[in-house]
Structure 1
Amino acid sequence: MDDKPGSGIENAGRRWKRRPPGSNWGDFGADDQLGRMNLLTPEKVRQGLAEAREGKVFCLSLPLDFPGGSTVNPRRRPPLLQPTLRDGKPNINFPLSRLHCCHTDVISDDAVLLHTQYSTQWDGLAHVGAWFDANGDGRPEMMYYNGYRARADILGPMDYSAQDETEIEGRPIGAKKLGIENMASTCVQGRGVMIDLAAHFDTQRHYVSYDELMRIMEADGVEVERGDMVCLRTGFDRYLLDCGRNPPARAQMDAIQVGLDGRDERLLQWITDSGLAALISDNIGVELFPARPVSGHAPGHPLHQHCLFKLGIHLGELWLLSDLADWLRSAGRSRFLLTAPPLRLPGAIGSPATPVATV
């Protein structure tokens, strides 16, 4: 479809007149907030159910207090569990007989302070945007998938587009559009496809190219079809579990990570052309950070920008994939039923997940 100014989808001009080259803005409707989740049709659910032959299930989530500490991301912290309060006292092991002498109940109730993208997680479509001139007037704006805008649709307490970084007092915070609750409403169930990178690469830093990915898929007989949710097993999940909530410095972890090369244009084009509905890995970011250096202006997270900003493809990170991948390899299979809804938390930008695979 033409990406020139003025050639947008019908009614899409409410927010934009031109869309980024290679994007699918408007293809699922002018007001779409689901992106490629739209491809999880009843037929894709039936295809996933057809892979549930043994009735064996796998939990694909790390314990949500992994990886431990904050070396993976200094802005994210482990969950903080604490009791709720009853008359100012901790509401754990609370005997109701203290309030009503004839009651025999003992009550426990807790709360959690949870960083939504600390452990096994979904990146929502408001997680990564880009500066883009959507109106064709020569003035780039901070935009997100399908032309939703910073400050109008994704709200924060600071206006970073202003030179003085103006603080906006009393303004609500959160994603009025593209919040993770939209993804949750689809139930995120369909056919998963495993690509076992760990079976082909040693545990040392490696940017996986398009050519390498195609060779691995051909060697293992893996096929990805429109609407499949693709999982990339690198083995990093077992490394984190072995660290026992005490991971080393980020540089040491980066030295053993395998991930996609976000600068490989043919790889990005394959993501576009394959029609995959979601892209998931057991590593920190699906793609490797930092991306390979290039000259001039370029996204620092090229695969994230391609998937979240241009195509509306949700990314899953830090999933527990190795047990499932080992079983699939031993069974000569690569497909399974995947059920992986995020929290239905209105306005959230990301979400922890407890995905389940059934084979």
Structure 2
Amino acid sequence: MSLPAEFHEIAKRVNNWGRWGADDEIGTLNLITDEVVREAAAAVRSGRRVPLALPLKQDGVQSGMIPGRVNPLHAMVQINQELFGPGTVACNDDIVTMGLQAATHWDALTHVSHSGRVYNGRPAGTVTPHGGAEFGGIDKARHVVSRGVLLDVARALGRDRLDGGHAVTPEDLEAAEDLAGTRVRAGDVVLVRTGQIQVYLAGDREGYGYPSPGLSLRTPEWFHARDVAAVADDTLTFEIFPPEIEDLWLGVHALDLVEMGMLQGQNWNLEELSTACGETGRYAFLLSAMPEPFVGATGTPVAPVAVL
């Protein structure tokens, strides 16, 4: 089944292949310049730090909908073990097995492909069983520190949480921008709050994933026009699920990651941040969201922190 004409038309309008050279592997992260970071640091007023990651635990957000994407399985391999003989210092060590996109995470540009290509026109076959992503792996995204802007769509629309079938539109983003009192600009990392994470926090793992509000097919053009560096939200699927166009699954993923080369994140807990921004009336902050540099990985856990 081929992708619909509407998808290809949007893809042409947001395509960034070659914009930063034929060998580029980080896409819109190129927009986070030294000047952008300096201005982001100037956004810090109180020094209040707000963590945005979910706990990594065995009963996490994954319900089995995506095969192989397991919640973190934690095990101890040493418990008070005196490695160097009786009476010496004892050690505790642990291991974990998990899907790299299991909880709060970034998707690498190679997380999806379409029409046989990944970002910058590279063949989809550059992702291999043993080496992972030979090009555009998450390890290439070495510095994700910039100005963060919370677009609290739910609050801007007068709701605590968007309905499961709500497709977030550019008009919704602009309403949230008006609420924030700041304009999204080049190099920003945009955090879109729908309130959907509340469903998971209340203990309904199945209801959290389906149906879900999320970004619509119209949003990639908005982010492209603003030269946004990366986008994350508080849902399992990032985009509206089920999709707006029948059988066009992960269409927003393909536009953001493959065509635009824009990092995207899911399962970010934006509830405390929403409260903090509402209390202070400030929706822009310094955001540190460094990916774990798994070589060749197509995604990675992240523990982002907003500094107000």
TM beyond 0.5: yes
Equivalent residues in 2 for 1:65-76 (5 A)? 65=57, 67-68=60-61, 70-71=63-64, 73-76=66-69
Asked if structure 2 preserves the Cα contact closer than 8 Å seen for 1:67 and 1:241, the reply is no
User: Following TM superposition, by how much is the alpha carbon of 1:82 offset from its aligned partner in structure 2, in angstroms?
Assistant: 2.0
SS of 1:81's equivalent?
strand
Return the alpha-carbon distance in structure 2 between the equivalents of residues 237 and 249 of structure 1: 12
SS of 2:12's equivalent?
coil
Q: Which residue does 2:8 correspond to in 1?
A: none
User: Following TM superposition, by how much is the alpha carbon of 1:71 offset from its aligned partner in structure 2, in angstroms?
Assistant: 4.4
**1:45-78 residue CA offsets vs partner (Å, 9 max, x unmatched):** 1111111111110111000226345245343111
Specify which of 150, 158, 168 is matched with residue 194 of structure 1: 150
**1:253-287 residue CA offsets vs partner (Å, 9 max, x unmatched):** 424x332212x3xx332121110000110111221
State whether structure 2 residue 225 is matched by structure 1 residue 276. Answer: no
State whether structure 2 residue 98 is matched by structure 1 residue 114. Answer: yes
Q: Which residue does 1:326 correspond to in 2?
A: 275
**Amino acid of the structure 2 residue aligned with 1:104:** T
Equivalent residues in 2 for 1:41-190 (5 A)? 41-65=33-57, 67-68=60-61, 70-71=63-64, 73-84=66-77, 91-96=78-83, 100-101=85-86, 103-131=87-115, 142-151=116-125, 153-156=126-129, 172-183=130-141, 185=142, 187-190=143-146
Return the alpha-carbon distance in structure 1 between the equivalents of residues 194 and 60 of structure 2: 16
**Amino acid of the structure 2 residue aligned with 1:281:** D
The structure 1 segments of at least 4 consecutive aligned residues displaced by more than 4 Å after TM superposition are none
SS of 2:136's equivalent?
coil
Q: For this pair of structures, how many residues does the alignment match?
A: 292
Specify which of 239, 260, 266 is matched with residue 199 of structure 2: 239
Q: Which residue does 2:183 correspond to in 1?
A: 223
TM-score, normalization: structure 1? 0.76
Return the alpha-carbon distance in structure 1 between the equivalents of residues 19 and 85 of structure 2: 61
- Which has the larger Rg? 1
Asked if structure 1 preserves the Cα contact closer than 8 Å seen for 2:61 and 2:102, the reply is no
- Change in Cα spacing, 1:73 to 1:82, as seen in structure 2 (3 Å) is same
- Change in Cα spacing, 1:299 to 1:28, as seen in structure 2 (3 Å) is farther
TM-score, normalization: structure 2? 0.88
State whether structure 2 residue 237 is matched by structure 1 residue 285. Answer: yes
User: Following TM superposition, by how much is the alpha carbon of 1:83 offset from its aligned partner in structure 2, in angstroms?
Assistant: 2.8
Q: Which residue does 2:3 correspond to in 1?
A: none
Q: Which residue does 1:164 correspond to in 2?
A: none
User: 1 or 2, which has the higher helix percentage?
Assistant: 2
Asked if structure 2 preserves the Cα contact closer than 8 Å seen for 1:124 and 1:308, the reply is yes
Identity %: 33
User: Which segments of 5 or more consecutive residues in structure 1 lack a partner in the other structure?
Assistant: 1-19, 85-90, 132-141, 157-171
Asked if structure 1 preserves the Cα contact closer than 8 Å seen for 2:209 and 2:237, the reply is no
Q: What is the alpha-carbon root mean square deviation over aligned residues?
A: 1.9
